[in-house]
Amino acid sequence: MAEPDVYSPDVLAEEEPRYMRRQKPVEVRKRKFGKQQRLFYLKVFLGLLAACASGGVLYVAVDFLLNSPQFKLVKTEQIEISGNVRVDAVAVLDKFAADQGRSVLRVPLDERRRALEEIPWVEKASVARILPNKLRVELVERTPVAFLRQGAELALIDAHGVVLERPQQADYNFPVVTGIAEAAPREDRERQMQLFVQFMKDVEAARAGGSSMVSEVDLADSKDVRATLAGLPELGDPESGGQSAVLVHFGSGDFVSKFQAFVGNIGQWRASAGRIESIDLRFDRQVVVNPEKVTGIR
């Protein structure tokens, strides 16, 4: 019979499973609420409190400005208008009808400015608030430079091609322009009127007072400005001593030299051709003089 194995206590101790051993507990240290953290949270709390207070004050202030009777636009006298000579004040005040009873701070200034500039006689407008409860409107009116013939009617027109209604009580001394259709695009009318303005400047530069001798200008053809001239001593009728008008074709440019050539030679042309119906200055170094046709009586 075999004897049982005998193990040393040390061997038995080494083979003992590790999980059976009791582990030393880990000590958990509690962190204390430090002074710096307390200051940080206090600052955050105070900041939130200040923000809430500021928001409340801002809300009250905005509500006061937008709804207080002291800032409301109640009477038309609270709208100051300047610069209007031809524009009726009623037409200006009508643009602010929707703002009656509202705070002046609610008035859309840019929108009202654009509405004012839609009035034909208004070229530019500005609108400003005058606290607590007024508005200031400043207008720059358009400047007409000629009469525009439309059939049997005469309107006014400015240098930008804007057609203006003639005021009932106004006295203007302008030449008449033709060949411009009111229904034409604004850009086309402005281009035609810029040609007219340049022509008038050059005529005045060629001879002082020359622009006052322009009676009518036909702008239908941009390549040929046709002007009816009257009132020059050189246009006097050789036979009767009276004065008459003559139609001159000036082309599309070089108006200064052409007008000077006309003034300097009209006397000679009339002496040789008699009464003149028209003169064509469009050609270089050549002038076409068309005598007036006389209808005989049989």
Q: What is the pLDDT of residues 180-208, one digit of tens each?
A: 998 899 999 999 999 999 999 999 999 99
Percent of the chain with pLDDT over 70: 75
pLDDT of residue 152: 86
pTM: 0.71
Share the mean pLDDT of the chain: 83
φ/ψ of 136, rounded to 5, equals -120, 125
Q: What is the mean pLDDT of residues 217-236?
A: 87
When comparing pLDDT for 161 and 182, which is higher?
Answer: 161
Higher pLDDT, 69 or 76: 76
- pLDDT score of 10 more than 90: no
Amino acid at 298: R
d(Cα 286, Cα 272) in Å, to the nearest integer? 16
The residue with greater pLDDT, 282 or 15, is 282
pLDDT over 50 at 64, yes or no: no
Neighbours of 102 (CB within 10 A): 16
CB 138 within 8 A of CB 126: yes
Asked if the model's pLDDT at residue 240 lies above 50, the reply is no
pLDDT at 15: 54
What average pLDDT does range 79-90 have in this prediction?
95
User: What CA–CA distances, in Å, run from 296 to 46, 124, 241, 292, 293?
Assistant: 109, 57, 22, 12, 9
pLDDT higher than 80, residue 26? no
Integer-rounded Cα radius of gyration of the chain: 46
Quick check: 298 pLDDT over 50? no
Other beta carbons within 10 Å of 272: 10
Calculate the alpha carbon distances from 27 to 24, 32, 129, 194, 249 in Å. Answer: 9, 16, 73, 96, 113
